[in-house]
Every structure is written in C-alpha cells, then in structure tokens.
Amino acid sequence: MSKSPNILLPALGVTGIVLGGAYGTMTRSYKADEADIARAQAQAAEARLVSQEEANTDLKSQIALVQDTAKAKIAELEARPATVSLTAPAPMHDGAMGLGREALVEEIAAWDVDVLPDGRGLPAGTGNAFDGEELFADKCAACHGDFAEGVDNWPVLAGGFDTLADEDPVKTVGSYWPHLSTVYDYVYRSMPFGEAGTLTPDETYAIVAYILYSNDLIDDEFELTHVNLGAFEMPNKNGFIIDDRPKAEYAAWSAEPCMSNCKDEVTVTMRSVFLVNTPEDGGSESVMNNATVEGLPSFTSAGASFIPEAEAKVEETVEVAAAAVEEPADEGAALIKAGEKVFKKCKACHAVGDGAKNKSGPQLNALLGRTMGSVDGFKYSNVFKAAYDEGRIWDEASLTEFLAKPKSYMKGTKMSFSGLKKEGDQVAIIAYLNSFLGD
C-alpha cells in the first residue's frame, strides 16, 4: 500500500486538470469573478509555457548530444587510415564482442554434472549394498526386479556373464558395462524411470553398490564412495577396443586405382534381356524390348574412347565394298542379302539354316507354310499354342504383320522384340528366311 500514493500522483494530476475545467465552468455559471477566471487561465497558460520550455530545453540538449556523438563519430572515421577495408570485420573492443558476461562458477557447476571413468565429477557421498537393497526394492525393483534380474521386458541389470560372444548376449551392468562411473551417472541422472533427479548422492552410491552386489562383484559391507568408485574395476573393462582401423586397415584398402589402360578391351556381348527369362506378359512396354545386341557400344583401351559410330561406319563400308565385288546375280539374291543383314536383329534368339537349333526362340527353318508354334521341343507361349491348335499357317501376310508388331499380332507372345519398323526389312527378311528350307 505504501507505494500507491506515488503511483496515483500522475493520475491525480490529470483529474485535477479535468476538475479544474469543471470548476471554471461552474464559477462562470454562478457568475463568479471573471477576473479570477482570467487569472487562472493566464496561470495555466504560463504553466504550459514553462513546461513547454522545459521540454524544449530537454529536446535541445538531446539534439546537442546527438550532434556531439555524430561529430565524434565523424572525427573517429576521419582519423582512420585511408586504407581501411570496408569488408574487414568491425574492430572489437578488447577483442571481445561486448555481449554477455563470464559464466559464474555456480552456473558452470550446474551444467558440469557428468562423471568421468576415473571418478572425476562424482559428488561427495557414500553408500553400501546393505542400505542399497532397501532403496532398490523401493525405487527400482518394480521394473528391474528384486535382484536386478529384470521384470518382464524391463532391462536386466545383473548376470549375463560369459554370454557376450553368444548369438543373443545378455548385456547387463555386470557383464557388459566397462566403467562403474557410467552406472552412477546414469542412475543419478535418469532413474527411477519417470522420476529422474530425485535420488541423493548417498542414495545413489548405495543403489550402485547394490547393483554390484547383485552381480556378485562386492559383498554387502563394501562401502562405495566418491573416492573409491573411480578405481573399481568392472569385469568387462577390457572388452572394448579403440577403433584403430584408420591406422591399421585403411592403408591396405586404398591402393592406387588404375586410371588408364587397365584392360586391353571391354566389349558388351549381350543385354540382360536375353539372359533372363522375361515374363510372358510382363514388360511388353519396356524399352528393353527394343534391345538388340547390335549397335551396342564397345570400348577399347586406346584412349578408352567410345566408338560405336566409327565401328558401324567401318562395317558398312566393308559391306558396301563386298557387295560391289560380288554383285548379286539377280534382284532376288540382293533381297536375300539384305534380309541376311536384317536377321542380325533376330540372331540372338533364333537360328536358321542347316542343323539350326532352338535358342531362346524356335529355329526358323522352312518357316513359310509351317504351322505356327509347331517346332518340336520348343516351349511356346499360350497364344502360340492356341495358334497351333487352330492350325494357323505362316504365310507372307501373317509373317509381315507379326514381324512388324509381334506383341500386337500375337497378344501375349514371349518374343521380346518390338518389331521391324521398315517395310523393306520385312520383305527382305521373309525372302532370306524363305531361302532356308532346312530339313
């Protein structure tokens, strides 16, 4: 309450002015001395003037201050060497940013709670398993069991020795943890689960001692303290190794890679589509169906250059030259010759000629006039089996249509070939195939 007059004063001032106004109105209406009013008004005006003047002086001194600061700044800037870089970091006072303050010892202590393996960081305290048993039963056993053996799926804290090399090792504080400091730190900071931070140092020492006792590592009179905890040796303290692979192994793995002339020649001989059994209907839209072994890139180590075009050119030139040498006798022979070239697209899957065997596609001897799907020992797709049952025969028309678009002429065929796009090719290949009557 003692503060309220101070708080109220400004408010009262305002009220006073308002009341003053009301008082003036009242006196006038009661025909009071008009001179009084004039005097009051003059006084008020004077008061306003004074406060205005005060405000002005205030403002003036503020302006003066800003001007002085600006002048000082300008002087400072002018005093700087002309070579000052505009992109250089701003100079710092005493090398610091002038932000914040040194952390207090207490503040650092509040954050610095971790305990190191040698015991540094342990709060002073002591406890034994005898006292720890009761605390453990009270605060931990509901989850970890009376003997730290674990309830249901809660972690087991004791036992499991000699299981670490098993397929299903039991990793407990006793069998696995290399440092006792971790047990103290972990329990002190995070247990009991859901009530972390409620244990005192002495309680924690006692509980840690009880966990050791449950692991048969101490007897119940052993007094665990901040002095001896760091020296306590856990059974698995040597079970962890320092990862020295960067030193021990990386060198062995990182031989200089071969970057040039590593292999005399690399050639691609087949597409995987020919090797794997493409499902009957699967992937009929696949671009792989357009694949042929023709035109595949090949590499030579001479500069490891990519030269399919060059190779194709050479091949073409050789063929043209060969054709020029042995001019075919007649048009029919020329067509067969052209068909032979087209047949390269089929060769990966089909054989034709004397003793031709089935490959991934049936042999194509004596094709014209042959019943569809009729080659012995070849496993046709259902659509071909059906064609066979209907007794359909290969003639020029059906063959032309089939070879143009195998998948649409024979829906469900397992022939993974997109078709011959050029009409001339179909005529040529039929002429070529027709030249093999076979046996």
Residues in contact with ligand HEC by CB under 6 A are 139-140, 142-144, 154-155, 157, 173, 183, 186-187, 191-194, 207, 274, 345-346, 348-350, 360-362, 364, 367, 372-373, 375, 380-381, 384, 403, 413-417, 420, 429
Supply the minimum distance, in Å, between the C-beta of residue 133 and ligand HEC: 12
Residue-wise DSSP of 270-306: --HHHHS---SSTTTT-GGGG--STT--EEESSTT-B
- Comparing CB distances to ligand HEC, the nearer of 52 and 190 is 190
Q: Which two tokens stand for residue 13?
A: 């001032």
Q: Are 362 and 378 in contact (CB under 8 A)?
A: yes
- Comparing CB distances to ligand HEC, the nearer of 17 and 437 is 437
Secondary structure (3-state) at 224: strand
Distance separating alpha carbons of residues 197 and 130, to the nearest angstrom: 22
Supply the minimum distance, in Å, between the C-beta of residue 437 and ligand HEC: 15
Supply the minimum distance, in Å, between the C-beta of residue 117 and ligand HEC: 16
Q: Are 341 and 301 in contact (CB under 8 A)?
A: no
Supply the minimum distance, in Å, between the C-beta of residue 345 and ligand HEC: 5
- Comparing CB distances to ligand HEC, the nearer of 93 and 421 is 421
- Comparing CB distances to ligand HEC, the nearer of 39 and 344 is 344
Q: Which two tokens stand for residue 235?
A: 């059974």
Supply the minimum distance, in Å, between the C-beta of residue 206 and ligand HEC: 10
Sequence-distant (6+) residues with CB within 8 A of 221 are 128, 129, 130
Supply the minimum distance, in Å, between the C-beta of residue 381 and ligand HEC: 3
> In which residue are the tokens 């932000």 written?
99
Sequence-distant (6+) residues with CB within 8 A of 288 are 271, 272, 273, 278, 416
- Comparing CB distances to ligand HEC, the nearer of 93 and 357 is 357
Torsion angle defined by CA atoms of residues 30, 35, 38 and 40, in that order, rounded to the nearest 10 degrees: -80
Q: Can the peptide bond before residue 192 be classed as cis, meaning omega within 30 degrees of 0? A: yes
Distance separating alpha carbons of residues 189 and 406, to the nearest angstrom: 74
- Comparing CB distances to ligand HEC, the nearer of 119 and 373 is 373
Supply the minimum distance, in Å, between the C-beta of residue 131 and ligand HEC: 13
Distance separating alpha carbons of residues 294 and 172, to the nearest angstrom: 64
Could you tell me which of 413, 405, 350 has the C-alpha nearest to residue 385?
Answer: 413
Supply the minimum distance, in Å, between the C-beta of residue 224 and ligand HEC: 13
- Comparing CB distances to ligand HEC, the nearer of 303 and 424 is 424
- Comparing CB distances to ligand HEC, the nearer of 151 and 304 is 151
| Helix 180-190, helix 201-214: angle, nearest 10 | 130
Supply the minimum distance, in Å, between the C-beta of residue 343 and ligand HEC: 7
Could you tell me which of 155, 213, 152 has the C-alpha nearest to residue 180?
Answer: 213
Supply the minimum distance, in Å, between the C-beta of residue 93 and ligand HEC: 47
- Comparing CB distances to ligand HEC, the nearer of 139 and 179 is 139
> In which residue are the tokens 């406060």 written?
51
- Comparing CB distances to ligand HEC, the nearer of 384 and 436 is 384
